[in-house]
């Protein structure tokens, strides 16, 4: 097995820094690792089923209003009881189903997520904040049955090879294509180690070429890892389906003696505690319940906020949407063609008169992308060591969508390396703005499900808790909007997401 510690271009090694922060990675067996696993623990069915009809059926599930009243007022809460039933119409005796709930008013384009609590007996409590006055409708969907969740969890941990990648080797006019992944156990491989961050990648060793002849990377494909029963449990007919309720809508009257839900909020700043819900839509505009979010309705507003900023974005295509939005929205912000694969970048846009530089690049492997130069793929943690930081520097990253197919230990270790790099950046340049985009909804398969995304999102929030960074909570923003859910949200959602980001860059 050939090792290439020098293969990826990286900033100088900082490991000798006597002021190193968070030097110990979150390895398996550590107390933090155990706490993180406990955080994402999810109830499993008491036994494996062999009869599909015993799984939760969205057509049989019901919900009803608890303690119904004739008058509801803005600012109060609404409670709804959800009853899970199987295909025979029997109430389930155990929990573990994955429901999503929202309260919405389509006419005024208003929406807010509900908090769902598993009572572990086949019933669930959905709690809604009532942020606006007028008519509102409850919508509850069964995203996955507990039996389907059990399949997702098993395949995540036992089949990391279900998504695979290709490496393209070029040497002396010849080419070879080989399978690559984070780990290819029991095979003769080339090891590619990032010396600063510790990230690793492996490819099957080519027959007649050296390991350093790896030039390109691409998505390979998907492997089938489910049987017919598991396919049925994950089929579209029982996935993300609305369930019926005993009532259709409620009427919300104005609040009494209230100065509003946002009256006591502070300006947006790092380290603020999350709220549940994190905000709500009204007239298609997102109102944050974490801080006093601002809105930037015109290009000059956004340009003034970003004047003199050096913006570094690292992540997936859901973060690239923010880059694309700002590039379109601010006419003076022009992209420079770097002659690279657009899907993975790097992308660069500048506004010289405003002193604005904005970059986006994909995070390092694993990355599902079309054929791209391996030298253009940088691990985000290693790249951060090359950023000086300062009051004009903004770092934005997201890391989740390409990790849903891997055991959670892989994700925890990746976040741990990133956390260490961010700690180092903030130590040397504490005025640097660091923003973390959360996961968003929209995935619905064995390779990328909202349940898998939620698990990673919980880990991400926990691992950066207490640091001088900001979690931009877009999970609620995508799950309660009127547009159909999509892993790549529509323009109104992206506009509100970017406004939230700008609220932390320019809080006043």
Distances from the Cα of 465 to the Cα of 12, 274, 460, 461, angstroms: 28, 10, 9, 6
Q: Which residues on neighbouring strands pair with residue 347, listed in sequence order?
A: 360
Q: Tens-of-pLDDT digits for all 508 residues of the chain?
A: 333 332 222 333 333 332 223 444 677 778 999 999 999 999 999 998 899 999 999 999 999 999 998 889 999 999 999 999 999 999 999 999 999 999 999 999 999 999 999 999 999 999 999 999 999 999 999 999 999 999 999 999 999 999 999 999 999 999 999 999 999 998 999 999 999 999 999 999 999 999 999 999 999 999 999 999 999 999 999 999 999 998 879 999 998 655 588 888 999 999 898 899 999 999 999 999 999 999 999 999 999 999 999 999 999 999 999 999 999 999 999 999 999 999 999 999 999 999 999 999 999 999 999 999 999 999 999 999 999 999 999 999 999 999 999 999 999 999 999 999 999 999 999 999 999 999 999 988 889 999 999 999 999 999 999 999 999 999 999 999 999 999 999 999 999 999 999 999 999 8
User: Which pLDDT belongs to residue 258?
Assistant: 52
Stretch (H or E) spanning 357:
strand 356-362
CA separation for the pair 176, 49 (Å, rounded): 45
The runs of H, that is alpha helices, within 353-449 are 380-384, 408-428
Q: What are the backbone dihedrals phi and psi of residue 145, each rounded to the nearest 5 degrees, phi first?
A: -70, 160
Token pair for residue 484? Answer: 């159909």
Return the CATH superfamily for domain 31-36+262-503: SGNH hydrolase (3.40.50.1110)
Class of domain 52-151+230-253: mainly beta
User: Which pLDDT belongs to residue 128?
Assistant: 98
Enumerate the domain spans of the chain: 31-36+262-503, 52-151+230-253
Confirm if 166 and 184 have CB atoms less than 8 A apart. no
Sheet holding 214-222, edge to edge: 2-4, 189-193, 200-204, 174-181, 163-171, 214-222, 372-373
Confirm if 476 and 57 have CB atoms less than 8 A apart. no
Cβ-based neighbour number of residue 417 at 10 Å:
22
CA separation for the pair 504, 508 (Å, rounded): 9
CA separation for the pair 123, 126 (Å, rounded): 10
Confirm if 145 and 55 have CB atoms less than 8 A apart. yes
User: Which pLDDT belongs to residue 16?
Assistant: 30
Distances from the Cα of 503 to the Cα of 124, 180, 301, 313, angstroms: 35, 40, 11, 16
408, 315, 462, 160 alpha-carbon torsion, rounded to 10°: 0
88, 93, 98, 103 alpha-carbon torsion, rounded to 10°: 90
Confirm if 12 and 385 have CB atoms less than 8 A apart. yes
Question: What stretches of 5-74 adopt beta strand conformation (E)?
Answer: 62-65, 72-73
The C-alpha angle with vertex 285 and arms to 282 and 290, in degrees rounded to 5, equals: 90
């Amino acid at each position: 097995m050939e090792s290439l510690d020098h293969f990826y271009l990286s900033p100088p090694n900082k490991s000798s820094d006597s002021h190193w922060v968070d030097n110990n990675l979150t390895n398996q067996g550590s107390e933090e690792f155990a706490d993180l696993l406990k955080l994402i623990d999810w109830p499993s069915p008491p036994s494996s089923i062999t009869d599909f009809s015993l799984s939760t059926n969205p057509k049989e599930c019901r919900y009803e209003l608890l303690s119904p009243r004739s008058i509801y007022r803005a600012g109060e809460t609404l409670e709804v009881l959800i009853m899970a039933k199987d295909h025979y119409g029997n109430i389930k005796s155990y929990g573990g189903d994955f429901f999503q709930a929202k309260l919405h008013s389509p006419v005024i384009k208003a929406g807010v997520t509900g908090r769902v609590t598993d009572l572990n007996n086949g019933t669930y409590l959905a709690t809604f904040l009532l942020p606006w006055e007028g008519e509102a409708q409850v919508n509850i969907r069964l995203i996955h049955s507990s039996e389907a969740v059990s399949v997702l969890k098993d395949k995540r941990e036992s089949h990391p090879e279900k998504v695979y990648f290709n490496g393209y080797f070029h040497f002396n006019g010849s080419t070879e294509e080989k399978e690559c992944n984070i780990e290819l156990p029991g095979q003769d491989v080339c090891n590619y180690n990032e010396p600063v961050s510790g990230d690793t990648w492996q490819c099957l060793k080519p027959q007649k070429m050296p390991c350093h002849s790896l030039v390109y990377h691409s998505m390979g494909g998907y492997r089938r890892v489910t049987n017919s029963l598991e396919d049925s449990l994950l089929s579209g007919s029982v996935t993300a389906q609305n369930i019926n309720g005993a009532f259709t809508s409620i009427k919300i009257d104005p609040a009494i003696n209230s100065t509003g839900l946002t009256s006591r909020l502070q300006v947006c700043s790092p380290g603020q505690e999350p709220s549940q819900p994190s905000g709500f839509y009204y007239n298609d505009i997102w109102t944050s319940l974490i801080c006093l979010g601002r809105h930037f309705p015109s290009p000059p507003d956004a340009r003034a906020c970003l004047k003199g900023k050096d913006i570094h974005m690292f992540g997936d295509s859901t973060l690239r949407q923010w880059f694309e939005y700002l590039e379109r929205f601010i006419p003076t912000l022009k992209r420079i063609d770097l002659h690279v694969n657009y899907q993975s970048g790097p992308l660069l846009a500048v506004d010289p008169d405003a002193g604005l530089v904005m970059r986006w690049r994909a995070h390092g492997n694993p990355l599902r992308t079309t054929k791209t130069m391996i030298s253009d793929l940088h691990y985000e943690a290693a790249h951060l060591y090359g950023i000086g930081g300062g009051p004009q520097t903004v770092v934005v990253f997201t890391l989740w969508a390409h990790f849903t197919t891997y055991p959670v230990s892989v994700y925890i270790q990746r976040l741990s390396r990133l956390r260490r790099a961010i700690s180092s950046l903030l130590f040397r340049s504490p005025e640097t703005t660091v923003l973390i985009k959360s996961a968003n909804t929209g995935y619905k398969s064995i390779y990328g499900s909202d349940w898998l995304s939620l698990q990673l999102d919980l880990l991400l929030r926990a691992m950066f808790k207490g640091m001088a960074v900001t979690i931009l909570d877009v999970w609620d923003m995508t799950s309660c909007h009127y547009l159909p859910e999509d892993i790549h949200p529509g323009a109104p959602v992206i506009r509100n997401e970017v406004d939230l980001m700008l609220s932390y860059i320019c809080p006043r």
